[in-house]
Amino acid sequence: MGVIIEAVDLVREFDIDTGLFQPARKVHAVSGVSFAVARGETFAIVGESGCGKSTLARTLARLLAPTSGEVLIEGQPVGKVKGAELVKLRRKVQFIFQDPFSSLNPRMTVGALIGEPIEIHRPELNAPQRRAEVTALLQRVGLRAAHMDRYPHEFSGGQRQRIGIARALAAQPDILVGDEPVSALDVSVQAQIINLLDDLKTEFGLTLIIVAHDLAVVRQMSDRVAVMYLGRIVEIGPADAITAHPRHPYPSPYERGARGARWHRQGSAAP
């Protein structure tokens, strides 16, 4: 299949203001992370809250620039990509946010939200063609063409996440990066969205990178899992092996057998 995206010694730091006359402090959110994801794979990044997994996902999608290290997409370094080349990169890698409501402009209709990336990344399409494409995308994610003229606040959480997925698909990406895309949804709706993403992966030949902390989600969706702790990957391997027989002591004390069990440190409550 070949590698489609790779992180090479990736570092992302944030400067924290410590107050007047005090030197700024650096927080190391991602510290020297390296891994490769094969084309067509579903790769999960798991860990407790604050371990750096969301920062890593945003850096992979170039929503954040790395402090050092590099992200390679199909072998091409993207850390310093700008202008038209960055627009091309945006088309290849699209992001699904944890909270669909905050990620959708409340002043734009659903048709405009989904049509915007089509207009940017596929300028060869005219207005009627874009509208037809929006209709097809809405139907593909389980919504109706009549929803096109409505606004995000008129939908449920699950429907809004479907809109976010349709918007991500509108650019015809190769990679979808999801930052806990089902954690804000009811359990019954989570299963629907997981199944939808799995179907879309097969239909469109997508590569999925999913940030998660729910073991049921990890087992159901993933081919491989990377476990993060304090900004580093401490274990990586097949999903079944990581969830059932982890080798590193950090992920081992999860709540075995509990519905919706979550990764957490030994002796601490689940985040």
Q: Which domains does the chain have, with CATH numbers?
A: 3-244 (3.40.50.300)
Helices (H) and strands (E) in the chain, counts: 9, 10
Q: Calculate mean pLDDT across residues 80-90.
A: 82
Please give the structure tokens belonging to residue 17. Answer: 């203001």
Torsion sign over Cα 44, 228, 71, 119 = positive
pLDDT tens, residue by residue, 180-222 = 998 888 888 998 999 999 999 999 999 999 998 777 778 888 9
pLDDT tens, residue by residue, 52-66 = 999 999 999 999 999
pTM, two decimals, is 0.87
Identify residue 226 by its one-letter amino acid code.
A
Q: Calculate mean pLDDT across residues 73-82.
A: 86
Identify residue 187 by its one-letter amino acid code.
V
Q: Which of 226, 247, 252 is nearest to 237 (CA)?
A: 226
Q: Which of 167, 112, 121, 119 is nearest to 140 (CA)?
A: 167
pLDDT band at residue 254, thresholds of 50, 70 and 90?
A: very low
Asked if 55 and 33 touch (Cβ cutoff 8 Å), the reply is no
β strands within the chain, DSSP E? 3-16, 25-38, 42-46, 68-73, 76-77, 93-96, 175-179, 207-212, 224-229, 232-238
Q: Which of 212, 103, 203, 198 is nearest to 160 (CA)?
A: 103
Tell me the three state secondary structure of residue 123. coil
**Which helix or strand (DSSP H or E) is residue 128 part of?**
helix 127-140
pLDDT band at residue 257, thresholds of 50, 70 and 90?
A: very low
84 contact partners, CB below 8 Å, separation of at least 6: none
pLDDT band at residue 249, thresholds of 50, 70 and 90?
A: low
pLDDT band at residue 268, thresholds of 50, 70 and 90?
A: very low
Asked if 78 and 88 touch (Cβ cutoff 8 Å), the reply is no
Asked if 55 and 92 touch (Cβ cutoff 8 Å), the reply is no
Q: What backbone phi and psi angles, to 5 degrees, belong to 222?
A: -100, 145
Beta bridge partners of 10: 33
Residue 232 pLDDT > 70? yes
Return d(Cα 182, Cα 194) in angstroms, integer: 8
